[in-house]
Amino acid sequence: MRILHTMLRVGDLDRSIQFYRDVLGMKVLRRADYPDGQFTLAFVGYQDEADGAVIELTYNWGVDRYELGSAFGHIALEVDDAAQACERVRQRGGKVTREAGPMKHGKTVIAFVEDPDGYKIEFIQKGTA
């Protein structure tokens, strides 16, 4: 067994694709409309689905907002330099919600950014865990 993808419901698919592609540097791997079910799926990631886990962005037609709730935490991405990754996000119009620095009660360097729907994305600096 292996993890295939994580699904996130989004309120504006084009806005979300722009964030994951242009701000975080992922590729759009595939996209398909399902008219009978009134939804569209787009898969984004850094590598092909056969090679690693990706994110499935699900847009339910006519739904532009979701309550995120308190159960889901975040998606984690390994980065070479968390501070530089935050700066790139800022330069590309993204929102940094926690600047790079050591995590509480540890030495791992982390930072957090937020996608357009409010989902948290953690940057974990390589070699600091």
Residue 103 lies in a domain: yes
For residue 92, what are the domain limits? 75-125
User: pLDDT under 50 in the chain at which residues?
Assistant: none
Domain membership of residue 65 (yes or no) is no
Q: What is the DSSP letter of 19?
A: I
Give the integer Cα–Cα distance in Å for 60 and 34. 10
Beta strands in 2-119 (DSSP E): 5-9, 27-34, 39-45, 54-60, 75-79, 95-102, 109-114
Q: How many domains does the chain have?
A: 2
The catalytic site residues sit at 122
Q: What pLDDT is attached to residue 1?
A: 87
Query: Tell me, what's the pLDDT at 129?
Result: 79
Q: Is residue 102 part of a domain?
A: yes
pLDDT at residue 39, rounded to an integer: 98
Judge whether 19 lies within some domain.
yes
Residues 47 and 81 in one domain: no
For residue 96, being part of any structural domain is answered with yes
Residue pLDDT, tens place only, 64-88: 999 999 899 999 999 999 999 999 9
CATH assignment of the domain containing 84: 3.10.180.10
